[in-house]
Amino acid sequence: MTKRGATLSTSDARRDVVVDAAIAEFARGGYHSTPISAVAAKADISPAYVFKLFPSKVSLFVAALDRCYELVTHALANGAARADGEDPGRLLYEMGGAYAELIADRNLLMLQVHAQSAADTPEIADAVRRGLAKVTEFARSRSGAGDEQVQRFIAYGQLCHLIATLDLDEHAGEWAAVLSAGIRHPGKN
Amino acid sequence: MTKRGATLSTSDARRDVVVDAAIAEFARGGYHSTPISAVAAKADISPAYVFKLFPSKVSLFVAALDRCYELVTHALANGAARADGEDPGRLLYEMGGAYAELIADRNLLMLQVHAQSAADTPEIADAVRRGLAKVTEFARSRSGAGDEQVQRFIAYGQLCHLIATLDLDEHAGEWAAVLSAGIRHPGKN
DNA sequence: CCATCGAGTGATTGACCAGTCACTCACAAC
DNA sequence: GTTGTGAGTGACTGGTCAATCACTCGATGG
Could you tell me the CA-to-CA distances from A121 to A31, A116, B61 in Å, in that order? Answer: 10, 10, 21
Question: What is the predicted pLDDT for the residue at A2?
Answer: 32
Nucleotide D20 C1' to residue A63 CA (A) = 22
Distance from CA of B184 to the nearest CA of A (A): 14
CA distance A46 to B73: 49
In tens, the pLDDT along A52-68 reads 999 999 999 999 999 99
pLDDT in tens, chain B (189 residues): 333 334 557 888 999 999 999 999 999 999 999 999 999 999 999 999 999 999 999 999 999 999 999 999 999 999 999 999 999 999 999 999 999 999 998 999 999 999 999 999 999 999 999 999 999 999 999 999 999 999 999 999 999 999 999 999 888 789 999 999 888 765 443
Alpha helices in chain B, H assignment, sequence order: 11-29, 36-42, 47-53, 57-81, 88-102, 107-117, 122-143, 147-165, 168-171, 174-180
Please, which positions of strand D sit below 7 A from a protein CB? 6-11, 16-22, 25-27
CB spacing of A132 vs B28 below 8 angstroms: no
- Is the minimum CB–CB distance between B178 and chain A shorter than 8 Å? yes
Neighbours of B15 (CB within 10 A): 16
Q: What is the pLDDT of residue A115?
A: 98
Average pLDDT over residues A126-153: 97
State the pTM of this model: 0.92
* Cα separation, B78 vs B83, whole angstroms: 9
- Is B132–A175 a contact, with Cβ atoms under 8 angstroms apart? yes
Look at residue B9 in the predicted model and tell me its pLDDT: 78
Nearest chain B CA: its distance from A139 CA (Å): 10
- Going B163 to B166 to B167 to B168, the CA torsion angle's sign is negative
Alpha-carbon gap, residue A83 to A92, rounded angstroms: 9
pLDDT at residue A5 is higher than 50: no
What is the distance between the alpha carbons of residues A54 and A26, in angstroms, rounded to a whole number?
15
Is the pLDDT at A152 greater than 70? The verdict is: yes
Buried (b) or exposed (e) across A160-172, using 16+ Cβ within 10 A?
bbbbbbbebbeeb
The amino acid sitting at A23 is: I
Contact B65, B124 (CB under 8 A): yes
The answer to whether the CB atoms of B161 and A158 lie below 8 A apart is yes
Tell me the DSSP string of A24-69. HHHHHHTTTT--HHHHHHHTTS-HHHHHHHSSSHHHHHHHHHHHHH
H/E stretch holding A186 reads none
